[in-house]
């Protein structure tokens, strides 16, 4: 378990969590990584930790390069437990080291752990730290996606250690994007943004702007999850994608999300989808019986139109639809047009709960549509007309 050099004397000492299949309700079929980096300089510096249960593996990688007694700085870019879980272990091994973080990071560490005896060095955006041949520059990125979040820039190496920014929940044999199919890595990066950072578009735009105002010349981005972006083409690709996603710019496509009990809502969903197809609008359809909510959310980044359908169960939303709406509302996608539809047996009105979510998100909407039992030809014609009204 040796460290892997990513730049001269800068090493990946992280771990790969091949068995991770779920993260806060977000499906992670490809696992994930918790990337930590060791900078071998006059003042040896460790950047970020890993989940507590994978601490031993990380420690072995660090020890392949140096003894913990020689580490002078431990930079904590973010205190969420997948990055800070083993910080107490690290501080027992390296009690002489200073914790470098921002004020919110210090408060979060104190809330999570017993920090008695830890020596903190508090930084803010624009502050620098000389560690020998290298100068580290810090950029706080509050609410991207926690109040304590920040990034560390290694000036001489043109290396941005970006923590949760630009990452992917993606474990693979390599640690570099260039060694994996680019479209696969980018799709995982898109999924990560859609399910983790979607609510924080304004903060992402601010971070990109701050990086520009600081004049950061970036030729490698090393996040704390997934693969490392290296070279102008890869770096520009992920920076450009973040600029697009953060702006809320979409590609005008439609997403139809539904669940069904006896096929009535599925029939309505097919009718809804057909209107977009006839209008030449790209459309995808997701049945929640087979699709995880996190898979659905990826398509929201490109969508202008969102249609959500539900059957009625015990005078309530169907459970998987209710769960999806709770998950989606928390991610707070903006600038969409919404349409609620569904079916019922003896009491109508449950689609109004979907409509309320759209209203809470500030979306444009058309009137909801619901049909009793099996939709007949006239009902199919009516729901199609409602969708045409939506896209007019």
pLDDT surpasses 90 at 259:
yes
Q: Please report which confidence band the pLDDT of residue 146 belongs to, taking 50, 70 and 90 as the band edges.
A: confident
Provide the CATH number for the domain formed by 253-391 in this structure: 3.40.50.360
As a whole number, mean pLDDT of residues 277-299 equals 96
At 18 the pLDDT is 96
Q: Report pTM.
A: 0.93
Give me the percent of the chain exceeding a pLDDT of 90: 89
Predicted confidence at residue 177, as pLDDT, reads 98
Lowest model confidence (mean pLDDT) among 4-18, 202-216, 217-231, 363-377:
202-216
Q: Note if 169 is an active site residue.
A: no
Q: What is the pLDDT of residue 48?
A: 97
> Is 286 one of the catalytic residues?
no
The answer to whether the CB of 79 falls within 8 A of the CB of 108 is yes
Band the pLDDT of 201: cuts 50, 70, 90.
confident
Q: Which position among 11, 17, 37, 145 bears the catalytic label?
A: 145
pLDDT tens per residue across span 102-134? 999 999 999 999 999 999 999 999 999 999 999
**Mean pLDDT, the chain, integer:** 95
Catalytic residue among 57, 80, 110, 219: 80
Q: What residue ranges do the domains of the chain occupy?
A: 4-247, 253-391
Res 180: pLDDT: 97
pLDDT for the residue numbered 248: 85
Residue 145 above 90 pLDDT?
Answer: no
Among 41, 48, 164, 371, the active-site one is 164
213-229 pLDDT per residue, tens: 788 899 999 999 999 99
- Asked whether the predicted pLDDT for residue 207 surpasses 90, the reply is no
- Catalytic hit among 26, 37, 192, 242: 192
Fold that domain 4-247 belongs to in CATH: Metallo-beta-lactamase; Chain A (3.60.15)
pLDDT class for 321, splitting at 50, 70, 90? very high
Catalytic residue chosen out of the listed positions 24, 217, 385, 389: 24
Q: What is the pLDDT of residue 163?
A: 94
Residue 6: predicted pLDDT: 97
| Of 82, 157, 259, 370, catalytic | 82
The pLDDT of residue 344 is 93
Is 80 exceeded by the pLDDT of residue 326? yes
pLDDT score recorded for residue 100: 98
Could you confirm whether 82 is annotated as catalytic?
A: yes
145 flagged as catalytic: yes
Tell me if residue 112 is catalytic.
Answer: no
pLDDT at 135 over 90: yes
């Amino acid at each position: 378990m040796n460290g892997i050099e990513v730049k001269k004397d800068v090493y990946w000492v992280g771990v790969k969590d091949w068995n991770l299949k779920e993260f806060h309700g977000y499906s992670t079929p490809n696992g994930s990584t918790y990337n930590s980096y060791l900078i071998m300089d006059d003042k040896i510096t460790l950047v970020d930790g890993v989940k507590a249960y994978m601490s031993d593996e990380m420690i072995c990688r660090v020890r392949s390069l140096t003894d913990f007694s020689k580490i002078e700085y431990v930079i904590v870019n973010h205190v969420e437990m997948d990055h800070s879980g083993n910080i107490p272990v690290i501080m027992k091994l390296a009690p002489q080291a200073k914790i470098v973080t921002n004020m919110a990071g210090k408060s979060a560490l104190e809330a999570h752990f017993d920090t008695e005896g830890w020596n903190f060095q508090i930084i803010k955006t624009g502050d620098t730290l000389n560690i020998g041949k290298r100068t580290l520059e810090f950029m706080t990125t509050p609410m991207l996606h926690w109040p304590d979040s920040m990034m560390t820039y290694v000036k001489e190496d043109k290396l941005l250690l970006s923590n949760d920014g630009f990452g992917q929940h993606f474990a693979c044999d390599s640690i570099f994007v260039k060694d994996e199919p680019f479209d696969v890595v980018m799709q995982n990066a898109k999924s990560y943004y859609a399910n983790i950072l979607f609510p924080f578009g304004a903060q992402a735009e601010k971070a990109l702007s701050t990086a520009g105002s600081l004049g950061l010349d970036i030729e490698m981005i090393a996040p704390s999850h997934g693969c490392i972006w290296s070279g102008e083409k890869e770096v520009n690709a992920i920076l450009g994608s973040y600029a697009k996603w953060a702006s809320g710019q979409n590609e005008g496509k439609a997403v139809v999300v539904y669940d069904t009990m006896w096929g009535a809502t599925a029939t309505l969903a097919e009718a809804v989808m057909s209107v977009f197809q006839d209008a030449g609008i790209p459309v995808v359809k997701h049945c929640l019986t087979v699709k995880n909510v996190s898979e659905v959310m990826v398509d929201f980044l490109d969508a202008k139109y969102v249609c959500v359908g539900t059957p009625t169960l015990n005078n309530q939303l169907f459970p998987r639809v209710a769960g999806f709406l709770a998950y989606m509302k928390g991610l707070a996608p903006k600038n969409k047009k919404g349409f609620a539809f569904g079916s019922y047996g003896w009491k109508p009105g449950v689609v109004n709960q979907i409509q309320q979510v759209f209203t809470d998100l500030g979306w444009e909407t058309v009137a909801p549509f619901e049909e009793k039992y099996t939709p007949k030809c006239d009902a199919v014609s009516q729901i199609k007309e409602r969708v045409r009204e939506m896209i007019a």
